[in-house]
Chain A
């Protein structure tokens, strides 16, 4: 928004706005003789002239100087009545530094209220044009007998015969309806509200088999509806569209934050059922059975400086977020623990504890690092490394920006293929962790494929790049590599062989090229 401080200019604009928007033309008639902006402008001219005269006739020693700056004075003497330069009749005025000058590039403010009002009015007029208006008119003359008999004939009443109702027939055909159990939520429908704010969501029916998840259900509710009402209305709408699919009780369902493609971010708890849906900024949600959140220590509670509690991962690989994700065999874990312990005993004396390390459990470490993004700014994350998992927990200082928080990742160690230092800069070191989502057991769990085929000819590898202090980076890379080597998972083996192959082709190409 721009600020204007010139009375004359404002007056002119207000005046013009009145005249331009008044269809009746009354404003123009009323204000015809009183164009204050012009009056002010004339006054300004007079004042300037007076000032100039003063300078001209001043019998002073600085006369010479005065004549030198005469032209400049004329431009720079700014009176309170001066208009902005874009007013008509002020073309000859030179831009003056004492006023904000609104060039074309600068004037990029929103459509004015008047313009918006005009739009609204136009829309209302268009709407009104479609409505036939009938005004009461008293009949011009008493009706003739002919007219009377034409319109107001007395008819003989025939006794209505017993008829069968179409409705009754339809009711019989349609004995019970699945959506009836959600009927109380029908009133939250936002599509038919006059003047009430509404909110639309794309809801994926995550709890249904995959074939029903292809398209989200677009749901529009009144903004004051609570999350539980949104769930109820979603069930209502869905059961109308798909009467063949049975849905459960509204109370068993929760709404989870999801991506555009319907992938639910399980790291976050479901939205609070009693909060109004207008409170949340998400538009894509997944509807699923509520999960047991025994330890409801929300991630948003982590502070940058004091993240002491981290309830997610433990030795056994149990996660409070989703237990089904970490089904790594306990037997090999215990073996690795033993191996790690021997390893750590050797390391501990050498490395000591870094500032980023929070817990002293040898197999379970947390580091504070920066997650690098291709486009966005780096985000602080907490990197949790256990024998079974690598966990990336975003750390956000601003709790209110809950929705703007970067993503949470949890990778099974079996899906991590590689870890290496990329670059050591002056103060920081960047390192990379390569993983393969297709090797993630939890990934398969989520997609309900029973037969996990671990052989993927076209495995896709993804990566996370991090940045932190040299020592910490080295330590993390060492640690991850130790775990990876100990595990020697199919994923890592595949990745290694692919890498070797690549290296080979490159050398062979080089050799060919050289020869």
Chain B
């Protein structure tokens, strides 16, 4: 390869970028209906690797806290993949699962993993080496689970399901509280801001409900209700600085809301985008990734409202996306 000027140096990093596991790199991972998971070089838009996710679409992706692994969940499958090696196959396969697993996430030290699925449960998988399954936990709810999120204090998992009930499960005591923001509307996603002060949930009517969690004990207090989208909402996420909330939807758009006054900050729309399934902020909350049914992932500059990068390579819809940024 001819190396001329600065651009090539950047490209030189390309091969090194596959060593995401070193923890010094940025990783963007997408997955979807084509049964593959792709690792991208986020700044150039080049696909670095493709991993196989046989027999199932990818419902959710999460990079583990040390950046070595990505967990993917789908129909009857939870798998983890090594991001640092060139292995296209999973390294771990969690079996004996029925139905769709809709969400996966990690405890902040990577000691355990939690999942929520259509078998009406949320589960905690003990990942510690040498003490297998000692602390497995299971939490059963009456309806299929669409959303599960871990509170930043690591002691509660918020589970939302098809009947529209949000369960706040205290892991240590097994106590749980219920919230019903809207009758007969399926909860599609739940998010808690990194400071643990706000909780948002979106439903299949396109509505977004926000609660304050500030008090002690942290009891959710209704804060606001947004008519976020006219159609089915799919995801919601807070930015790292808690100033923004993004909601994505089947109305072919992603919308970014200011958490200060709940006003609409940006509407991210692209002519060919179709359903926007997932989104992720960068660490400085300036950029946002979206993944959509047109099989493209996109990077948007939220300050300028411009489309910065496109990630093309998937054969079918991108339904899940995970991004790990690095502080400098």
Contacts and interface: CB of A to CB of B under 8 A. Distances in A.
Interface of A: 127, 130-139, 143, 147-148, 151-157, 159-160, 162-171, 173-174, 177, 179-180, 183-184, 186-187, 189, 191-194, 196, 222, 240-244
Interface string B18-42: 0000000110000000111010001
Contacts of B25: 166
B10 A170 contact: yes
A134 B133 CA distance: 9
Contact of A155 (B47, B50, B108, B133): B108
Interface stretch (B134-142, B202-210, B229-237): B134-142
Given A135-B96, A154-B155, A165-B325, A244 B284 contact: no
Interface of B: 1-2, 4-8, 10-11, 14, 25-26, 34-36, 38, 42-47, 49-50, 52, 54, 87-97, 108, 111-112, 123, 125-126, 128, 133-138, 152-155, 171-172, 194-196, 240-241, 282-284, 286-287, 295, 308-310, 312-315, 325-328
B312 A155 contact: no
Given A160-B195, A166-B326, A169-B328, A244 B8 contact: yes
27 contacts: A130-B87, A130-B91, A133-B95, A138-B138, A139-B134, A148-B172, A151-B135, A154-B153, A157-B194, A160-B241, A162-B241, A163-B283, A165-B325, A166-B327, A168-B282, A168-B286, A169-B328, A170-B26, A170-B42, A171-B43, A174-B43, A192-B38, A192-B47, A192-B49, A192-B50, A194-B36, A242-B1
A189 B172 contact: no
Nearest to A173: B10
Given A134-B125, A169-B328, A243 B313 contact: no
A465 B172 CA distance: 91
A463 B36 CA distance: 55
- Classify the interface of chain B: helix, strand, loop or mixed: loop
Contacts of A242: 1-2
A157 B97 CA distance: 33
Contacts of B241: 160, 162
Nearest to B123: A136
A222 B287 CA distance: 33
A492 to B, nearest CB: 44
A154 B217 CA distance: 13
A240 B11 contact: yes
Contacts of B152: 155, 157
A241 B11 CA distance: 8
A179 B41 CA distance: 13
Contacts of B10: 170, 173-174
Contacts of B284: 162-165, 168
Contacts of A167: 26, 42-43, 282-283, 287, 325-326
A136 B96 contact: yes
Contacts of A162: 241, 284
B60 to A, nearest CB: 18
Nearest to A147: B135
A151 B125 CA distance: 11
A130 B88 CA distance: 12
Contacts of A152: 135, 154-155, 171-172
Contacts of A130: 87, 89, 91
A305 to B, nearest CB: 48
A139 B124 CA distance: 11
Contact of B94 (A136, A164, A189): A136
Nearest to B41: A170
7 nearest A-B pairs in the assembled complex, by CB-CB distance: A192-B50, A170-B43, A166-B326, A154-B155, A165-B284, A163-B327, A165-B283
Contact of A157 (B87, B137, B153, B327): B153
B6 A173 contact: yes
Contact of B327 (A134, A153, A165): A165
Nearest to B79: A131
A189 B38 CA distance: 12
B279 to A, nearest CB: 15
Q: Which of A167, A169, A194 has the most CB of B within 10 A?
A: A167
Nearest to A139: B136
B7 A244 contact: yes
A160 B241 CA distance: 7
A179 B311 CA distance: 12
Given A133-B93, A134-B95, A194 B54 contact: yes
Nearest to B128: A151
Contacts of A155: 108, 152-155
A218 to B, nearest CB: 15
B45 A177 contact: yes
A193 B36 CA distance: 8
A165 B285 CA distance: 9
Given A131-B91, A134-B94, A174-B7, 10 more contacts: A133-B93, A139-B137, A151-B111, A157-B194, A164-B327, A177-B44, A191-B50, A192-B88, A192-B313, A244-B5
A141 to B, nearest CB: 10
A165 B323 CA distance: 12
B260 to A, nearest CB: 16
Contacts of A164: 283-284, 327-328
B9 to A, nearest CB: 9
B237 to A, nearest CB: 14
Contacts of A177: 44-45
Contacts of B308: 171
Contacts of B286: 165, 168
Nearest to A170: B43
Q: Which of A136, A137, A240, A241 has the most CB of B within 10 A?
A: A136
A243 B8 contact: yes
Given A136-B97, A152-B172, A192-B38, A186 B92 contact: no
A160 B194 contact: yes
Contact of B35 (A131, A179, A189, A194): A194
B290 to A, nearest CB: 15
A496 to B, nearest CB: 47
Nearest to A131: B93
A194 B89 CA distance: 11
Given A131-B92, A162-B241, A183-B310, A136 B326 contact: no
A189 B312 CA distance: 10
A151 B127 CA distance: 11
Contact of A136 (B44, B136, B287, B325): B136
B26 A163 contact: no
A127 B52 CA distance: 12
A336 B50 CA distance: 65
A189 B313 contact: yes
Contacts of B36: 192-194
Given A127-B89, A152-B172, A244-B8, A165 B282 contact: yes
Contacts of B46: 179, 240
